[in-house]
Chains A and B, each alone.
Chain A
Amino acid sequence: NAGVTQTPKFRVLKTGQSMTLLCAQDMNHEYMYWYRQDPGMGLRLIHYSVGEGTTAKGEVPDGYNVSRLKKQNFLLGLESAAPSQTSVYFCASYNTISPRPGQGSGNTIYFGEGSWLTVV
């Protein structure tokens, strides 16, 4: 099935450890995003990418890095995890206005299932 897949789904890290979250989409979308969700704060945009090889900062980029080496993948890295980065992370991808079959409906951002990260 077409969609956005995130791995891992759950992870516990110690302060100072590093890790990478992987997001993969099979809908040939140009735009991809990483959000974090915290209680009472909704979803906040960390970084995003408007195409292969490009990345840009969102609302809360500090402490994170991203890479988009392949169009279908968008990686979120934590170089030195901190307890403040305990959160649920959502990846998303965006469809062009005139989608081809199998690419979902137009003007819609599709979300993954989420990755629960705890930093102790």
Chain B
Amino acid sequence: AQSVTQLGSHVSVSEGALVLLRCNYSSSVPPYLFWYVQYPNQGLQLLLKYTTGATLVKGINGFEAEFKKSETSFHLTKPSAHMSDAAEYFCAVSGAFADKLIFGTGTRLQVFP
């Protein structure tokens, strides 16, 4: 069975500051890990994913995440926040083949000027 914990339901940063959104997972099999972003009244858009191979994964809009097996973490970072990054972010986990995603409860990112 898989589960995801996102630490912090709300995160606020200033424009230009580092963005760090935390995600810890639990999985009985090697996990596939994902970050999705949701803008208001829209569907979910894939930011990045880790399946196998390189543990540092780069995604769209300057985001990246690092898979750390020893810490069971997959934190999302961006060096410099932009106003357009304000959205809700979801971490998700699945087993092999990514055939059933289990989501965290989400983190709402606010960016202040």
Contacts and interface: CB of A to CB of B under 8 A. Distances in A.
Given A41-B105, A45-B102, A108 B49 contact: yes
Q: Which residue, A48, A58, A109, A114, has most C-beta atoms of chain B within 10 A? A: A109
Q: Interface residues of A toward B: which range?
A: 20 to 34
Interface stretch (B64-72, B76-84, B93-101): B93-101
A contact patch SS: strand
Contact of B9 (A40, A58, A110): A40
A31 interface: yes
Given A42-B90, A43-B90, A108 B101 contact: no
Contacts, number: 55
A109 B42 CA distance: 16
Nearest to B41: A114
A41 B4 CA distance: 12
A77 interface: no
Contacts of A20: none
Interface residues of B, number: 24
B35 interface: no
A109 B90 contact: no
A12 interface: no
Contact of A108 (B9, B42, B98, B103): B98
Nearest to B32: A107
Contact of A48 (B44, B46, B100, B105): B100
30 contacts: A31-B99, A33-B100, A35-B103, A40-B105, A41-B105, A42-B103, A42-B104, A42-B106, A43-B44, A43-B101, A43-B103, A44-B103, A45-B102, A48-B100, A50-B99, A58-B100, A90-B43, A90-B44, A97-B97, A107-B49, A107-B97, A107-B98, A108-B46, A108-B98, A109-B34, A109-B98, A111-B36, A111-B44, A114-B41, A114-B43
